[in-house]
Amino acid sequence: MTMQFNAQRQQYDDSYPESESAIILLHGQPIGRMLVDRNNREFTLIDIALSPEHRNAGIGTNLIRELLNEARMARKPVRLHVTKGNPAQRLYERLGFSRVADQSMYFEMIFEPV
């Protein structure tokens, strides 16, 4: 598990050197993380993860909505990749993301601000 985490972190660092990593807290306790890259062209939601006991409680939805509101104000799209079969895909679609590419294991999705 540690080796997989380190490989993922290295890939994120290499691909998104200016990204911002945040620990998600609830009542002062860490319950997840969110990794976002904001560049001149767009925002990329690289990763958002919540501990299993805090999923499906609206926390991730609210955090993504905050990011989408920030993107609207900046007039920038938000891009992400979601593993095929991941239930989060339905959440992203409800929030206004559309599929723009099918990349073997992932769908690339984008939210265009209006």
Region 2-54+61-111: CATH code: 3.40.630.30
pLDDT of residue 93: 97
E-state strands within the chain: 20-26, 29-38, 43-50, 78-83, 98-103, 106-111
pLDDT of residue 84: 95
pLDDT of residue 18: 84
**So where are the chain's domains?**
2-54+61-111
* β 78-83/43-50 pair status: parallel
pLDDT of residue 7: 62
Three-state DSSP state, 99: strand
pLDDT of residue 61: 97
pLDDT of residue 24: 96
pLDDT of residue 75: 97
Sign of the Cα pseudo-torsion (48, 52, 53, 55, in order):
positive
Q: Residue 109: CB partners within 8 Å, gap ≥ 6? A: 79, 80, 81, 82, 89, 92, 93, 97, 98, 99, 100
Mean pLDDT by 10 residues, the chain (114 residues): 65 75 95 96 96 95 98 98 95 97 95 92
